[in-house]
Structure 1
């Protein structure tokens, strides 16, 4: 028993000292990461000091025999608060960077949560062996559990970053989105890469050279592995795109693009070290619209990459993305391309605007959405190492955008006038625009499936396909939208 308590005691001392010192070493980054949290943004500065002081103080209390029990109780309260915080982040909020420091920062959110739970149980075990007054032990442990969990939960409920009031009125389509079929994909690592005729193609975040093909009857999923011609290239972040009759693999960090014929699953390198990029979409078999970072301007930039047998040419279009704050975060957005309309569409994440260009990125229109946020509501800090990071949770306006023919479908993050906030806990809202006519058409709800929200989507002439965790669901597109497609 004494050996168990001694082990837990020294383990906690090392844990608290290590965590606090790691935060002190990268203190400016620690404060920025706290400021990114949807729960703690408004209190980032005081919380950064309180957490470090608390961790060091608890470590000191654990070192002294007389104050060991106090240190154990405070350890339990603080670790409970950390655990509840991670639980809320996992289940009710978008991802924010871990601010624990050191090797603990390398853990995923789920691993970190279970690590904290394990530590809480160890602390409780040490308290049981140390506190001879069992009634006091039961009362204090229960009170600390309720207070710690309650404090973090109150901060979460007070947060105003989850749903932004856009101050506008939506026109909801009278016909509801009707579920047609669903297919269990078994894992939740998929994203939608494209479609053609009776097949939908899914990429895999965990296994980037794997492709899943789903027939549009939603009956079967077939898995394939892509064989590439260059095994010597160090791949980092691969994305799959589909534009019939080819599929494309792109890695902007390694500056490589590969192309293969659909159904054959062999890919050859068509561009290597020509340009680095953060996103890409194929326009045809040798031409791509890419988004990247310009070292010269220090801003995001769009360009057209031509990959020909006799050479490669990159045409930059610095004039398209308009800087408001830093030129990087404020111009971040989503690339789409409509093959039928021969037009590219770029939608900003943090402001109410999308750009429409031709296939060569010649600007046709700058179009505002129904949201009223014309200036990106973001805060950016520069760290000592020169790196720029978000210093507050950004107010995302447009979360996910896809286009089909002339229509743009946008998962909005803004609540309109007279809309029920309770509905936002049950569904996401998709706003639909005709980007050719520069017109807003209407909006509709896509309800969550249990606890899972719509994370990705694809639209065809008759259906909307949605990804919910590990499930692919087909919905019948309302007639009011089908008749607007051309």
Structure 2
């Protein structure tokens, strides 16, 4: 055994040379994929650009140090420190990450994360033994050697821990457009074939999902959340002598509503009763409407003085009936296209969201349309990238296609799902061609939770989505698809602390 001791540092050095040389080369040859893997790491997403280069450079430098006798000992110290950093990274993944990503590729791709941990700890032990034997030949004291090993390994581990803490803050609070794709936060578990692809979600009530039809705006389809029974009801408004251009259905228990802001009219009927009564005529023109209660509505309209988009309350029991909330939508250029977006009700609490289409902002409001908070999406488009011209008749028209940031939003409780239109950092073009991206946000505070994919159908994205307390429903072509929430989202929806 004593005869083998002098050879242990050399054998371990050769092992580390092979390990790090192979690791660096494999990463460099498939650098794009490696960078994407780091970008999707639950710990280092915010620093994927720097880390992807730094790891390869460190591995090459360590190989060079190990090759030459004069620097071999420094190479062994560095090897154990780097393996300690990798080990604490895996430990954090297994114990403190919100999800466990897929194993990395290369020579260890067949290993799971636990096997990785055991392998790395073994490497650290071998590295420490080699350092001790090498220092012993130089008559270095065990205490000094152990101290240097302890300090170097603790420092390398501390760098990873600090990076993890800081990365979590950056990703969730100050994101630089690096998406974190969660492992199946929602899971497709059921679907229903529809007669055509022209449906949209009108609302929910209990376990019922309501669909409106762009083919026939007077038809309301009802399907239970188990997707086992679908029924149709034709609405019969009491007055129909209007030139409708955008008649749409909205449902908020115990009523359903028919509204067309170009007339403008609002009808109301009891759910299950086909008779709908006209409750508002010519009170306010609007381009979007969200139901607050049976006689009160949040609308998006235009002020006659300057034609700019503005939020407003329409209350059928007050005088005046319309109260403009001019501070909600902010003008950047024309006040029309730059303020375009989607107005929705947050199911669960009495709150409302306006999500801008061409910039990274959403406004959270109470039922009086008082601004509660302004939240940001993770893309970096703070100024709407549009070009418009004002015509002689006062209308604004776009002179070139705009950069769409956000497509659709649905929200329930403290969560919002946003269908994004922009590719983030470290994301593959191929994936964007085959899938739509949905980003998940908290609505009670500034926090990005993560993202997930929804496969495109015949190259087309899904057209609408709606959340309930148990499921996400998506309209994709002629399919109504149900997705179940996994534990991470369920805990947030139920207000439970993360375990």
| TM-score, length basis structure 1 | 0.64
Structure 1 stretches of 5 or more lacking a match? 1-165
After TM superposition, the structure 1 = structure 2 runs for residues 144-183 of structure 1, keeping only pairs within 5 Å, are: 168-175=177-184, 177-183=186-192
Among 205, 218, 221, the alignment partner of 1:209 is: 218
Give the Å deviation of 1:214: 1.1
Give the Å deviation of 1:235: 2.0
Q: Does 1:463 align with 2:471?
A: yes
Conserved in 1, the CA contact under 8 Å of 2:248 and 2:259?
yes
Counterpart in 1 of 2:70? none
Conserved in 2, the CA contact under 8 Å of 1:274 and 1:312?
no
| Secondary structure at the counterpart of residue 368 of structure 2 | coil
Deviations 1:420-471 (A, max 9, x none): 1111111111111111123211111111234342110011122111101121
CA distance in 1, matches of 2:246, 2:222: 21
Which shows bigger deviation, 216-225 or 376-385?
376-385
| Secondary structure at the counterpart of residue 274 of structure 1 | coil
Deviations 1:43-89 (A, max 9, x none): xxxxxxxxxxxxxxxxxxxxxxxxxxxxxxxxxxxxxxxxxxxxxxx
Counterpart in 2 of 1:296? 305
Counterpart in 2 of 1:319? 327
CA distance in 2, matches of 1:453, 1:484: 27
| Secondary structure at the counterpart of residue 193 of structure 1 | strand
Counterpart in 1 of 2:271? 262
Per the alignment, do residues 336 and 388 of structure 1 end up closer, same or farther by CA in structure 2, a change over 3 Å counting?
same
Conserved in 2, the CA contact under 8 Å of 1:397 and 1:412?
yes
Counterpart in 1 of 2:423? 415
CA distance in 2, matches of 1:298, 1:465: 36
Among 240, 243, 252, the alignment partner of 1:243 is: 252
CA distance in 2, matches of 1:437, 1:216: 29
Conserved in 1, the CA contact under 8 Å of 2:346 and 2:410?
no
CA distance in 1, matches of 2:189, 2:241: 45
Which shows bigger deviation, 234-243 or 168-177?
168-177
Which shows bigger deviation, 429-438 or 311-320?
311-320
Per the alignment, do residues 415 and 343 of structure 1 end up closer, same or farther by CA in structure 2, a change over 3 Å counting?
same
Per the alignment, do residues 236 and 312 of structure 1 end up closer, same or farther by CA in structure 2, a change over 3 Å counting?
farther
| Secondary structure at the counterpart of residue 297 of structure 2 | strand
Conserved in 2, the CA contact under 8 Å of 1:173 and 1:480?
no
Give the Å deviation of 1:339: 4.6
CA distance in 2, matches of 1:239, 1:224: 14
Q: Does 1:348 align with 2:356?
A: yes
CA distance in 1, matches of 2:361, 2:460: 28
Counterpart in 2 of 1:23? none
CA distance in 1, matches of 2:363, 2:185: 29
Give the Å deviation of 1:323: 0.4
| Secondary structure at the counterpart of residue 322 of structure 1 | coil
Among 280, 286, 303, the alignment partner of 2:289 is: 280
Where relative contact order (Cα < 8 A, 6+ residues apart) is larger, the structure is 1
Counterpart in 1 of 2:481? 473
Per the alignment, do residues 406 and 348 of structure 1 end up closer, same or farther by CA in structure 2, a change over 3 Å counting?
same
| Secondary structure at the counterpart of residue 423 of structure 1 | helix
Conserved in 2, the CA contact under 8 Å of 1:350 and 1:376?
yes
After TM superposition, the structure 1 = structure 2 runs for residues 65-80 of structure 1, keeping only pairs within 5 Å, are: none
Deviations 1:277-305 (A, max 9, x none): 00000011111000011111220010011
CA distance in 2, matches of 1:357, 1:474: 28
Conserved in 2, the CA contact under 8 Å of 1:305 and 1:314?
yes
Among 184, 198, 206, the alignment partner of 1:197 is: 206
